[in-house]
Chain A
Amino acid sequence: MGAVPPRIAVVGAGPAGAFAAASVWRMRPDAQVDFFERLPTAWGLLRAGVAPDHQEIKRLDDTFDRETLRRGCRFFGNVEVGVDVSHADLMRHYTAVIYATGAQTDKSIGIPGEDLPGSWAATEFVAWYNGHPDYRGLEFDLSGRRAVVIGNGNVAADVTRILMRSPEELERTDVADHALEALRESRIEEVVVLGRRGPAQAAFTSAELRELGYIDGVDVQVDSAEAELDKVSHEWLAEEGTFTARRNVALVREYASGTGAGTGADAVSGAAQRRIVLRFLRSPAAIRGTGRVEAVDIRRNELVRTDDGALRARPAGDEVETIECGLVLRSVGYQAVPLPDVPFDERSYVLPNDRGRVLLPDGEPLAGVYAVGWIKRGPTGILGTNKRDAAETVRCLVDDLAAGRLPEPASVDGDGGIEAVLADRKPDLVTAEGWHAIDVLERERGSRDGRPRAKLTSREELLDAARAATVAG
């Protein structure tokens, strides 16, 4: 090992970046690790993705803070790589660069009317209610009686819950103030959730599916015919069904028979004012409306087993059913966007890589460049998946360091290092101190109202809070 400690830049301070930084610290405690983050705030989707009514999970921020920033990782927030500093700048100042930029956009479904006003990517709604500064200005029309959510994963479950929760439930969370105010005025009484395949193939975790049945005053309905499995699903469940799939099938049956949570006393007594309707084997064919969303046309699917053994949905018959609605949230997955000056795999939407080593088109590693998280493996897995993913990438990096495969960076602080570059280009740089000030202020603001935090949601507010700390310090 050389006398000069390795310097590692982590681009993106979300969960994958945080686990990677923590992993570097465990394997190479002598390394200097610096985060480059586009926002003034840390922890990415833990803050802006995880639903506000899942506060338990957000506690992971303490672990991230303890294992990175409190151990000397530097935070360069409000800095966008590719805009404020280039990949070449990073390579000049760092021994290695780990890209942890995630998957920032949504997949399209490719149906007519997808872009009508009132039809949104669910991820936009998520970023809005979680107070992401780039989304705070969005205006969701919640004045209709019905919303349609397209998709059967946990993001679909999250947005459905947030649409159906009462203001009393939401005001105990860290949901953004602007979203809370809008949701207070919501007139949505019914959310229809469309699953392309059947209950056995739904991507919900059984915990999330079950949670839908435990929202105050909300009834969950499933048509009994849609709850029953077709022959193909029966076989699939028996042969290769997971523990979660079996639980989901049982839960959907309970909802259909009116014996599950959220289908009992409230429904019978008429106390349930609002309802969630889970539809299966249904795909949207078109989103329709004059000037804005008024309805979704759906078609029935059937499942077929393809040659590779996978179960696919294909259209069954020509019958079209129309669901009137004023809001559509499309939740069919995230997608990464290419990064400037690094290779990108346009088919898989990831940085081409081998266990985290980013590869050139000829298949050789691009020395000193690594990937972790969704930009490495695609948008799959849950939070903890990133810990193992990060360990794999960082092990490659540490091996490369030990084998002398990473040259020392050109700049060795004689010219003031990356800090001089940032001081010159980013007067409103947010450091770890600035982020901690934002964090403390938000928690204080929240505690007055019995909330875990009250988020600052504009860049100006965030930068002001960060600046105040730097001036005072």
Chain B
Amino acid sequence: MTYVITGSCIKDDSCIEVCPVDCIHPKPGAPDFETAEQLYIDPEVCIDCDACVHACPVDAIYAEFEVPEKFGYTVEVNAEFFAEKSTAERTAV
């Protein structure tokens, strides 16, 4: 299981501040932070504590199995963000 950030994210960092395992990216200061349209949760690292759900001021975060239908695609988008990142890191030598 994992939590998922949907398209209504306003990037106000409240979730990053409370995440105990640092699984929400990009973080302020990261090179891709300013251009990111939203924040994403790394499904491989998320421990399902739901702290971010309570911190989010616009209720943009859902448990994977509770994501509303119109935001269903974001489950894949969150995972893809980190998959792309790790590919980029592996190939960047």
Q: Which residues of A contact B (CB under 8 A)?
A: 54, 56-57, 59-60, 62-63, 205-208, 210-211, 214, 242-244, 247, 381-385, 387-388
Closest B residue to A380 using CB positions: B34
Assuming the A-B contacts A205-B38, A207-B38, A388-B13, are A56 and B84 also in contact, with contact meaning beta carbons closer than 8 angstroms in the complex?
A: no
Which B1-60 residues have a C-beta within 8 angstroms of A?
A: 7-13, 28, 32, 34-38, 57-60
Assuming the A-B contacts A207-B38, A243-B36, are A59 and B59 also in contact, with contact meaning beta carbons closer than 8 angstroms in the complex?
A: yes
Closest A residue to B71 using CB positions: A207
Which of A62, A242, A243, A387 counts the most B-chain CB atoms under 10 A from its CB? A243
- Is B10 touching A384 in the complex (CB atoms < 8 A)? yes
- Partner among A60, A205, A383, A387 whose Cβ is within 8 Å of the Cβ of B37: A205
By Cβ-Cβ distance, the 5 closest A-B pairs, closest first, are: A384-B12, A207-B7, A384-B11, A205-B37, A383-B10
Interchain nearest-CB distance for B79 vs A (Å): 12
Assuming the A-B contacts A244-B37, A388-B28, are A60 and B84 also in contact, with contact meaning beta carbons closer than 8 angstroms in the complex?
A: no
Assuming the A-B contacts A243-B84, A244-B36, A244-B37, are A57 and B28 also in contact, with contact meaning beta carbons closer than 8 angstroms in the complex?
A: no
Closest A residue to B73 using CB positions: A210
- On chain A, the residues within 8 Å of B11 by CB distance are 382-385
- Chain B interface secondary structure, helix, strand, loop or mixed? loop
- Is A60 touching B36 in the complex (CB atoms < 8 A)? no
Q: Is B90 an interface residue (CB 8 A)?
A: no
CA–CA, A214 and B59, complex, Å = 21
- On chain A, the residues within 8 Å of B63 by CB distance are none
Closest A residue to B39 using CB positions: A384
Q: Is B77 an interface residue (CB 8 A)?
A: yes
- On chain A, the residues within 8 Å of B9 by CB distance are 384
Closest B residue to A244 using CB positions: B37
Assuming the A-B contacts A243-B81, A384-B12, A384-B13, are A56 and B60 also in contact, with contact meaning beta carbons closer than 8 angstroms in the complex?
A: yes
- Is A62 touching B57 in the complex (CB atoms < 8 A)? yes
CA–CA, A243 and B81, complex, Å = 7
- Is A244 touching B58 in the complex (CB atoms < 8 A)? no
- Partner among B13, B58, B73 whose Cβ is within 8 Å of the Cβ of A56: B58
- Is B10 touching A382 in the complex (CB atoms < 8 A)? yes
- On chain B, the residues within 8 Å of A385 by CB distance are 11
CA–CA, A23 and B7, complex, Å = 26
CA–CA, A207 and B7, complex, Å = 6
9 more CB-based (< 8 A) A-B contacts, given A60-B58, A205-B7, A243-B35: A59-B59, A60-B57, A244-B36, A381-B34, A382-B10, A383-B12, A384-B11, A387-B13, A388-B13
Interchain nearest-CB distance for B16 vs A (Å): 10
- On chain A, the residues within 8 Å of B57 by CB distance are 59-60, 62-63
CA–CA, A54 and B60, complex, Å = 12
CA–CA, A327 and B61, complex, Å = 38
- On chain A, the residues within 8 Å of B32 by CB distance are 242-243
CA–CA, A205 and B74, complex, Å = 13
- Partner among A59, A206, A211 whose Cβ is within 8 Å of the Cβ of B58: A59
- Is A207 touching B58 in the complex (CB atoms < 8 A)? no
CA–CA, A60 and B10, complex, Å = 9
Interchain nearest-CB distance for A358 vs B (Å): 23
